[in-house]
Structure 1
Amino acid sequence: MIFMNLAKISANGQITVPVEIRRLLGLKSGDKILFFQKQDGEIVVSNASSQAIRKAQSAFAGAAEAMGVTSEDDIQALVDEVRYGKER
Protein backbone atom coordinates (compact mmCIF):
# COMPACT_ATOMS: atom_id res chain seq x y z
CA MET A 1 0.00 0.00 0.00
CA ILE A 2 1.34 3.44 -0.89
CA PHE A 3 0.49 6.50 1.18
CA MET A 4 0.61 10.10 0.09
CA ASN A 5 0.04 12.81 2.65
CA LEU A 6 0.67 16.52 2.84
CA ALA A 7 2.13 18.30 5.83
CA LYS A 8 2.30 22.06 6.21
CA ILE A 9 5.55 23.65 7.38
CA SER A 10 5.13 26.24 10.14
CA ALA A 11 6.97 29.56 10.23
CA ASN A 12 9.49 27.84 12.54
CA GLY A 13 10.09 25.02 10.04
CA GLN A 14 8.08 22.49 12.03
CA ILE A 15 5.79 19.88 10.52
CA THR A 16 3.17 17.54 11.90
CA VAL A 17 3.74 14.01 10.63
CA PRO A 18 0.41 12.59 9.45
CA VAL A 19 -1.01 9.85 11.68
CA GLU A 20 -0.83 7.19 8.93
CA ILE A 21 2.89 7.86 8.47
CA ARG A 22 3.50 7.85 12.24
CA ARG A 23 1.86 4.43 12.42
CA LEU A 24 3.85 3.07 9.47
CA LEU A 25 7.13 4.28 10.98
CA GLY A 26 6.20 3.24 14.52
CA LEU A 27 6.69 6.80 15.77
CA LYS A 28 5.51 8.06 19.13
CA SER A 29 5.85 11.35 20.97
CA GLY A 30 9.48 12.30 21.53
CA ASP A 31 10.87 10.02 18.80
CA LYS A 32 13.29 11.42 16.25
CA ILE A 33 12.95 11.07 12.52
CA LEU A 34 15.79 10.84 10.07
CA PHE A 35 15.78 12.56 6.68
CA PHE A 36 18.31 11.35 4.14
CA GLN A 37 18.89 11.75 0.45
CA LYS A 38 19.48 8.73 -1.73
CA GLN A 39 21.91 8.84 -4.65
CA ASP A 40 19.03 9.30 -7.09
CA GLY A 41 18.03 12.49 -5.21
CA GLU A 42 14.96 10.98 -3.53
CA ILE A 43 14.46 12.15 0.07
CA VAL A 44 13.55 9.39 2.53
CA VAL A 45 12.04 9.78 6.00
CA SER A 46 12.76 7.07 8.54
CA ASN A 47 12.36 6.33 12.23
CA ALA A 48 15.83 7.21 13.57
CA SER A 49 15.64 4.54 16.29
CA SER A 50 14.85 1.82 13.77
CA GLN A 51 17.71 3.02 11.56
CA ALA A 52 20.11 2.84 14.51
CA ILE A 53 18.98 -0.69 15.37
CA ARG A 54 19.42 -1.86 11.78
CA LYS A 55 22.89 -0.28 11.66
CA ALA A 56 23.88 -2.00 14.92
CA GLN A 57 22.53 -5.34 13.70
CA SER A 58 24.58 -4.99 10.54
CA ALA A 59 27.71 -4.05 12.51
CA PHE A 60 27.34 -7.10 14.78
CA ALA A 61 26.45 -9.55 12.02
CA GLY A 62 28.61 -12.64 12.42
CA ALA A 63 29.98 -11.62 15.85
CA ALA A 64 28.26 -14.48 17.69
CA GLU A 65 29.65 -17.06 15.30
CA ALA A 66 33.13 -15.53 15.53
CA MET A 67 32.97 -15.81 19.34
CA GLY A 68 31.65 -19.37 19.24
CA VAL A 69 28.26 -18.41 20.67
CA THR A 70 25.74 -20.92 19.39
CA SER A 71 23.20 -21.35 22.19
CA GLU A 72 21.44 -19.64 25.07
CA ASP A 73 23.85 -21.42 27.42
CA ASP A 74 26.76 -19.71 25.64
CA ILE A 75 25.06 -16.35 26.11
CA GLN A 76 24.45 -17.05 29.79
CA ALA A 77 28.13 -18.00 30.19
CA LEU A 78 29.14 -14.65 28.67
CA VAL A 79 26.80 -12.79 31.02
CA ASP A 80 28.19 -14.71 34.02
CA GLU A 81 31.73 -13.92 32.91
CA VAL A 82 30.98 -10.21 32.77
CA ARG A 83 29.00 -10.19 36.03
CA TYR A 84 31.10 -12.50 38.15
CA GLY A 85 34.44 -12.82 36.37
CA LYS A 86 33.84 -16.52 35.65
CA GLU A 87 35.57 -17.94 32.60
CA ARG A 88 33.55 -19.84 30.01
Structure 2
Amino acid sequence: MPTFQAQYLTHLGAKGRVVLPAEVRKALGLKEGDRLLLRVREDGTLELLSAREVARRALGLFAHVAPGRSLVEELLAERREEARREEG
Protein backbone atom coordinates (compact mmCIF):
# COMPACT_ATOMS: atom_id res chain seq x y z
CA MET A 1 0.00 0.00 0.00
CA PRO A 2 1.40 3.44 -0.91
CA THR A 3 2.46 5.83 1.79
CA PHE A 4 1.36 9.45 1.85
CA GLN A 5 3.28 12.53 2.91
CA ALA A 6 0.01 14.39 3.50
CA GLN A 7 -3.68 13.94 2.89
CA TYR A 8 -6.35 16.59 2.23
CA LEU A 9 -10.08 16.51 1.70
CA THR A 10 -11.35 18.76 -1.08
CA HIS A 11 -14.53 19.04 -3.13
CA LEU A 12 -15.67 19.01 -6.72
CA GLY A 13 -17.07 22.43 -7.53
CA ALA A 14 -18.89 24.11 -10.37
CA LYS A 15 -17.91 22.99 -13.87
CA GLY A 16 -15.91 20.07 -12.43
CA ARG A 17 -13.31 22.24 -10.75
CA VAL A 18 -11.25 20.81 -7.91
CA VAL A 19 -9.75 23.13 -5.32
CA LEU A 20 -6.16 22.35 -4.34
CA PRO A 21 -5.51 23.50 -0.78
CA ALA A 22 -2.92 26.26 -0.35
CA GLU A 23 -0.63 23.85 1.53
CA VAL A 24 -0.59 21.51 -1.48
CA ARG A 25 0.07 24.32 -3.97
CA LYS A 26 2.90 25.63 -1.80
CA ALA A 27 4.46 22.19 -1.24
CA LEU A 28 4.42 21.49 -4.99
CA GLY A 29 5.44 24.99 -6.02
CA LEU A 30 2.23 25.50 -8.02
CA LYS A 31 0.81 28.84 -8.99
CA GLU A 32 -2.24 30.02 -10.91
CA GLY A 33 -1.98 29.17 -14.60
CA ASP A 34 0.46 26.26 -14.16
CA ARG A 35 -0.24 23.32 -16.43
CA LEU A 36 -1.02 19.99 -14.76
CA LEU A 37 -1.25 16.44 -16.06
CA LEU A 38 -4.02 14.24 -14.65
CA ARG A 39 -3.79 10.47 -15.03
CA VAL A 40 -6.55 8.04 -14.17
CA ARG A 41 -4.99 4.76 -13.10
CA GLU A 42 -6.48 1.32 -13.66
CA ASP A 43 -7.20 1.02 -9.94
CA GLY A 44 -9.42 4.13 -10.09
CA THR A 45 -6.98 6.50 -8.42
CA LEU A 46 -6.04 9.87 -9.84
CA GLU A 47 -2.47 11.10 -10.21
CA LEU A 48 -1.75 14.82 -10.61
CA LEU A 49 1.64 15.94 -11.95
CA SER A 50 2.96 19.42 -12.59
CA ALA A 51 4.34 20.08 -16.07
CA ARG A 52 7.71 20.57 -14.35
CA GLU A 53 7.51 17.05 -12.87
CA VAL A 54 6.51 15.55 -16.23
CA ALA A 55 9.57 17.19 -17.83
CA ARG A 56 11.83 15.99 -15.00
CA ARG A 57 10.63 12.41 -15.41
CA ALA A 58 11.00 12.56 -19.19
CA LEU A 59 14.60 13.74 -18.85
CA GLY A 60 15.22 10.90 -16.43
CA LEU A 61 14.32 8.40 -19.14
CA PHE A 62 17.42 9.48 -21.05
CA ALA A 63 19.80 9.86 -18.12
CA HIS A 64 21.64 6.71 -19.18
CA VAL A 65 22.54 8.20 -22.58
CA ALA A 66 26.10 9.50 -22.66
CA PRO A 67 26.58 13.13 -23.69
CA GLY A 68 27.29 13.39 -27.41
CA ARG A 69 25.67 10.04 -28.16
CA SER A 70 22.94 10.25 -30.81
CA LEU A 71 20.18 7.70 -30.40
CA VAL A 72 18.73 8.85 -33.74
CA GLU A 73 21.99 8.14 -35.55
CA GLU A 74 22.24 4.73 -33.87
CA LEU A 75 18.68 3.86 -34.90
CA LEU A 76 19.32 4.96 -38.50
CA ALA A 77 22.53 2.90 -38.63
CA GLU A 78 20.67 -0.17 -37.33
CA ARG A 79 17.92 0.27 -39.93
CA ARG A 80 20.47 0.69 -42.73
CA GLU A 81 22.25 -2.49 -41.61
CA GLU A 82 18.95 -4.40 -41.54
CA ALA A 83 18.08 -3.16 -45.04
CA ARG A 84 21.55 -4.14 -46.31
CA ARG A 85 21.14 -7.68 -44.90
CA GLU A 86 17.67 -8.03 -46.42
CA GLU A 87 18.93 -6.96 -49.87
CA GLY A 88 22.05 -9.06 -49.87
TM interval, shorter chain, is 0.5 to 0.7
Larger radius of gyration: 2
Deviations 1:22-72 (A, max 9, x none): 1222211210221113344432111122212321342364141526xxxxx
- What does 1:2-81 align with in structure 2 at a 5 Å threshold? 2-59=5-62, 61-64=64-67, 66=69
Name stretches of at least 5 consecutive residues in structure 1 with no aligned partner.
68-88
Q: How many residues align?
A: 67
Q: CA RMSD in A?
A: 2.4
Q: TM-score, normalised by structure 2?
A: 0.56
Give the unaligned 5+ runs of structure 2: 71-88
CA contact 1:32–1:48 (8 Å) conserved in 2 = yes
Partner SS state of residue 62, structure 1: coil
Identity %: 28
Off by >4 Å, runs of 4+ in structure 1? none
- What TM-score do you get using the length of structure 1 for normalisation? 0.56
